[in-house]
Amino acid sequence: GENVEQHPSTLSVQEGDSAVIKCTYSDSASNYFPWYKQELGKRPQLIIDIRSNVGEKKDQRIAVTLNKTAKHFSLHITETQPEDSAVYFCAANDRGSTLGRLYFGRGTQLTVWP
């Protein structure tokens, strides 16, 4: 099955700086890569996703890049704000299953200091 690795496990940045979280995946057949943000005690919420037919996608301060050859994808947050503080999970889908199974990374605790 798919194996997703995520780095770093913790990340601290000053408000206004950029934050980058990186993930690698093992199954070259994976073609859907969502990113979820989970605040303490709350549900994971989709913040951005990318499909394998594009290399980059941007939504305001958030962007995701995908390198299919190297099998890695990254989340970029610019002009960070304290409310960006949360745990971020990357995931990759399982093309061997028709049920939308996702494999999650271990998560990155992002802390944005004011």
Query: Tokens 């979280």 — which residue?
Result: 21
The correct pick among 3, 28, 45, 67 for binding another protein (CB under 8 A) is 45
* In contact, 38 and 110? CB cutoff 8 Å: no
Assess contact for 41 and 70: CB atoms under 8 A.
no
Q: Which of 14, 60, 69, 98 binds another protein (CB under 8 A)?
A: 98
In the block, residue with structure tokens 């996702």: 102
Of 107 and 112, nearer to another protein (C-beta) is: 107
> Interface with another protein by CB under 8 A: which residues?
31-32, 34, 36, 41-46, 49, 51, 87, 89, 93-95, 97-102, 104-107, 109
